[in-house]
Amino acid sequence: MRGDEVKLLSAILQDRPSMPDAACVGEDPDLWFAFEGTEERARAQRICAACPMRALCTEAAKASNEPHGVWGGHNFDATAEPDSSGTCKSGHDLGVWGQVIRPRNANPYLRCMACLPPPRPVGPKTHCIRGHEFTPENTVIVRDGKARACRVCKRDRQRASRALAKQLESTIGALEVSA
């Protein structure tokens, strides 16, 4: 560990109660701040599991709102389980109405299920995404009969594709002539 890391860890631990009987005494402090899912993090949690000071360590971390690391065997990183105590903006109890949402590549968060808008009614679409009405004359069945598409939108895509191909041909032709 570098000197600045030792100073940072010393500053973090300065306000902590003294725990000379803790199982982590003498271990590498980096274990408790390793990335989640690594062997180092798992080792730190195993050491904490057998520690006689585990409850005191956990309470000290909660009291100081520690945002990082493993304390008393618990994960206090921002990616840990969101706190479900309290209420949402509308006043609903998150212990009852809160659901943990775990998006990929982002931290999990709580969503109040009582505040969600009602689901949209399910039914057949009457218009395409660009607003053209699905009529028998304007509808083509695609994907082996499993979906339908707007003929106007399909025709517009084909025209744009042909125009782009024509433009590329003229650009390539101009480059060949100049070379």
Q: Cite the annotated binding site for [4Fe-4S] cluster by residue number.
A: 24, 48, 51, 57
Q: At which residue do the structure tokens 């070379």 appear? A: 179
**Count of alpha carbons within 13 angstroms of residue 117, beta-carbon side:** 3
How many Å apart are CA 140 and CA 98, to the nearest integer? 44
Residue tagged 């989640």 (tokens): 36
119: left (phi over 0), alpha (psi -120 to 50) or beta: beta
| C-beta of residue 41 within 8 angstroms of C-beta of residue 34 | yes
Binding positions are: 24, 48, 51, 57
First to last CA, the chain: 61
Q: Tell me the CB-side half-sphere exposure of residue 63, using CA atoms within 13 A.
A: 10
Identity at 108, one-letter amino acid code: P
Hey, CA dihedral for 92, 95, 97, 103, is it positive or negative?
A: positive
